[in-house]
């Protein structure tokens, strides 16, 4: 047997031994969202609008990149997330989440 054939056989055996064993499949669980309950005296439709703005300042002192050391390095991150829902009380709703500004 040649060296290439031996290496091929050993690699194939190692990959077969490392393959994951079959397991039991778990049933899919749907995500549930909030649906407002029916309230006497209020209309059946509802609209929810939830904007969120977040900023974060990060500092690393000292920062070393490829042998170059920088002192007092800081940068900022920000995110504007908009969440909204439109629906019928006690029945269902359509939910939207979007990151308008991220970086």
Tens digits of per-residue pLDDT, 42-62?
888 888 899 999 999 888 888
Res. 98 pLDDT band, cuts 50 70 90: very high
From CA 8, how far away is CA 15, in angstroms rounded?
11
Domain that holds residue 101: 36-103
pLDDT above 80: residue 17: no
SS3 43: coil
Res. 34 pLDDT band, cuts 50 70 90: low
- Per the structure, how many domains does the chain have? 1
Residue at 96 is within a domain: yes
**Which of 58, 59, 57, 97 shows the shortest CA–CA distance to 80?**
97
Can you point out the beta strands (E) in 1-103?
A: 45-60, 63-65, 68-70, 73-88, 92-102
Residue at 21 is within a domain: no
- pTM of the predicted model over 0.75: no
Residue at 46 is within a domain: yes
Residue at 28 is within a domain: no
């Amino acid at each position: 047997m040649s060296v290439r054939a031996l290496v091929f056989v050993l690699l194939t055996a190692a990959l077969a031994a490392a393959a994951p064993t079959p397991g039991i499949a778990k049933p899919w669980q749907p995500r549930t969202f909030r649906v407002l309950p029916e309230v006497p005296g209020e209309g059946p439709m509802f609209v929810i609008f939830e904007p969120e703005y977040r900023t974060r300042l990060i500092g690393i002192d000292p920062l070393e990149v490829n042998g170059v050391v920088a002192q007092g390095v800081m940068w900022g991150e920000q995110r504007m997330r908009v969440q909204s829902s439109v629906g019928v009380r006690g029945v269902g709703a359509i939910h939207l989440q979007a990151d308008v500004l991220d970086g």
